[in-house]
Amino acid sequence: MTEINGSDPARTIATLWGTRQLPRRGPKHTLTSEQVIAAAVEIADGDQDLATLSMRRVAESLGVGTMSLYTYIASREELLEAMLDKVYGEAVRELGEPGEHDWVDGLREVARVNWDLCLRHPWLLQVFTGRPPLGPRSIAKYERELAVVDGLGLTDVEMDSVLTLVHDHVQGTARRRIEADRAIRRTGMDDEQWWAKAGPALAEVFDPERFPLAARVGQSAGEAHNGAHNPEHAYAFGLARLLEGVAALVKTR
Amino acid sequence: MTEINGSDPARTIATLWGTRQLPRRGPKHTLTSEQVIAAAVEIADGDQDLATLSMRRVAESLGVGTMSLYTYIASREELLEAMLDKVYGEAVRELGEPGEHDWVDGLREVARVNWDLCLRHPWLLQVFTGRPPLGPRSIAKYERELAVVDGLGLTDVEMDSVLTLVHDHVQGTARRRIEADRAIRRTGMDDEQWWAKAGPALAEVFDPERFPLAARVGQSAGEAHNGAHNPEHAYAFGLARLLEGVAALVKTR
DNA sequence: ACAAACTTCGTACGGGTTACGGAGTAAGTC
DNA sequence: GACTTACTCCGTAACCCGTACGAAGTTTGT
């Protein structure tokens, strides 16, 4: 009666909510799943990347054999989902109790908290979330965020859609910001050094007459912020537009 | 005088623009970089995933040894960037000549074309883009998209920001859509089967009184579209809001 | 004719996840 | 108190990955 696939939603849910009862028999456990998850988060935060988070390294940091981890966690994938849920707890705490602001400021706060969370744990956006995360803190976060758009006359589906819209914007801009940082670390070149190499090479093949707008706007954007794109600016600009769009909808109710 | 890091922007640009002159001496080449790139795209399209795209498989599909690929391409990373640029060509073709629509319909078209592109090549969103892609088709796409928001009285930086906003929205919703599909493939369970397992387990730990909004909205959203989230709906809803927000900005000019 | 430059590709290194099974340990049972 | 059973821990190994290195063979320039 083995699971065909490693992913057993019921087992994962039990792990996330802490209701998986550990076996009574056998040697004492030297660890808990919480310890494994915490160690993994620490490593991922340090690396700012998931790619280099291996089971071996997690085990080493805890002073156990690699395979011992699988006593506490079903698979690497389940571990990642648990890590996600753990750090979502930070967002829940930061958001605190609802009801102080109007909804616009509320959404601004939601955006800000999610942005900060992404930058604090850049690996977060690399976690595969093909299925909705059903951990306690993921749900608590959703609950708290829904409170911001409750009572505006929106339908349930619209409430969900508005939050999705804000999340996508934050994640999109945060992703750009994070990947830019990663590019610097991985290549060992900052933007200036990189352009010093890419610029001349591009100049040899790029014809400004064929791409007049790209040439002009690319240059302007590059000068305004230093670097090709400025994610912080994209974040603020986009959020402003987006809130105006939502306001227009709310006004019709 | 070796490159410290595998990534040499100048070499990559030459590969992308086809200006890298192949050596005259030595045996005849059995391949071209275009062939390697095309083979890789074909495999990635088939898998709908980058994770399983290995150099070995690309080589096998071309009937050559793995290491022979490195004659035509500097690294896997450069290959990915070239693949990106190749499929961006499709978007350029689909967008055609500018100037038929007003800017709102223009942006709608930009969004639609990018959405279609993402769904046709789901691996696209997995390509690391820490640095701006500087291939000929990437730039052509940017040029064509800029034309949509040119002449509205926006500053250069604003024009760029508006496009970024649209792109982020499309990519965010497309990503959700793609990851949902991948979840089905990877677990071998469709949403219904998955909920049949997750639902009861969640019911055991989830207290609707603690999370009233999440319970209500989650159910409504799940019933409205079937499945927890409906990316198509999120796409259309978000785009509508976002265009209204941009319209408000344009009106001030 | 010969040297130089080049392509091809087998091998190997260091990395990854995780299946399997043996050894040791603690709880339940009689 | 002894035995069975269920469990943890973890070494080993199977099977992936990207790519550095260098030997062998091929073509060009001189």
Q: Write the pLDDT tens digit of every residue in B239-253.
A: 999 999 999 999 998
Question: What local confidence, expressed as pLDDT, does residue A85 receive?
Answer: 96
Do A156 and B202 lie within an 8 Å CB cutoff?
no
Q: Is B179 within 8 Å of chain A by CB?
A: yes
- A250 and chain B: CB distance < 8 Å anywhere? no
Q: Nearest by CB to B129, from A9, A179, A224: name it.
A: A179
Spatial distance between the Cα atoms of A115 and B193, rounded to a whole number of angstroms = 34
Q: Do B245 and A241 touch (CB under 8 A)?
A: yes
CA(B21)–C1'(C1) in Å?
Answer: 29
Inter-residue contact A144 to A88 (CB < 8 Å): no
d(CA B162, CA A241): 9
Query: Do the Cβ atoms of B146 and A238 come within 8 Å?
Result: no
Q: State, as a whole number of angstroms, the distance between the CA of A132 and the C1' of D11.
A: 37
Nearest to B198 among A10, A212, A214 (CB): A10
A35 touches strand D (CB under 7 A): no
Band the pLDDT of B29: cuts 50, 70, 90: very high
- Of B13, B161, B176, nearest to A198 by CB-CB distance is B13
Q: In angstroms, what separates the C-alpha of A41 from chain B's closest C-alpha?
A: 22
Mean pLDDT of the region A121-131: 92
- Do A8 and A74 touch, CB atoms closer than 8 A? yes
Give mean pLDDT, residues B100-125: 95
> CB of residue A71 closer than 7 A to nucleic acid strand D?
yes
Cβ-contact B195, A144 below 8 angstroms: no
Nucleotides of D under 7 A from a protein CB: 5-12, 16-22, 25-29
pLDDT tops 90 at residue A205: yes
pLDDT average, residue stretch B73-81: 96
Q: What does the mean pLDDT of chain B come to? A: 92
Residue B162 CA to its chain's centroid (Å): 18
**B216 vs A20: which has the higher pLDDT:** B216
B48 vs B173: CA distance, rounded Å? 17
Return d(Cα B98, Cα A95) in angstroms, integer.
Answer: 45
Compute the average pLDDT of residues A92-106.
90
Chain B stretch 91-150, residues whose beta carbon is closer than 8 A to a beta carbon of chain A:
128-132, 134, 136, 139-140, 142-143, 146-147, 150
Residue B124 has pLDDT above 70, yes or no: yes
Asked if the Cβ of residue B35 lies within 7 A of any atom of strand C, the reply is no
The yes-or-no verdict on residue A34 having pLDDT over 60 is yes
The CA-based dihedral angle spanning residues B103, B250, A247, A93, taken in that order and rounded to the nearest 10 degrees: 100
Please state the rounded mean pLDDT for residues A224-246.
Answer: 87
- Which residue from A249, A252, A250, A243 is spatially nearest to A105, judged by alpha carbons? A243
Dihedral sign from CA coordinates of A193, B88, B114, A51: negative
Residue B146 is nearest to which of A142, A180, A217, comparing CB atoms? A217
Contact: B159, A202; criterion CB under 8 Å? no
Residue of A nearest to B149 (CA): A213
Q: Which whole number is the average pLDDT over B24-46?
A: 94
Q: Give which of B49, B143, B150 to mutate to test A binding, by max A Cβ within 10 Å.
A: B143
Interior angle at CA A202, CA A196 and CA A203, nearest 5: 95
A68 sits within 7 Å of strand D by its CB: yes
Q: Indicate whether A226 pLDDT > 70.
A: no
- Residues 75-104 of chain B sitting with CB below 7 angstroms of strand D: 75-77
Residue B4 confidence class, pLDDT cut points 50, 70, 90: very low
Question: Measured in angstroms, what separates residue B214's CA from nucleotide C18's C1'?
Answer: 36
The pLDDT value given to residue B171: 97
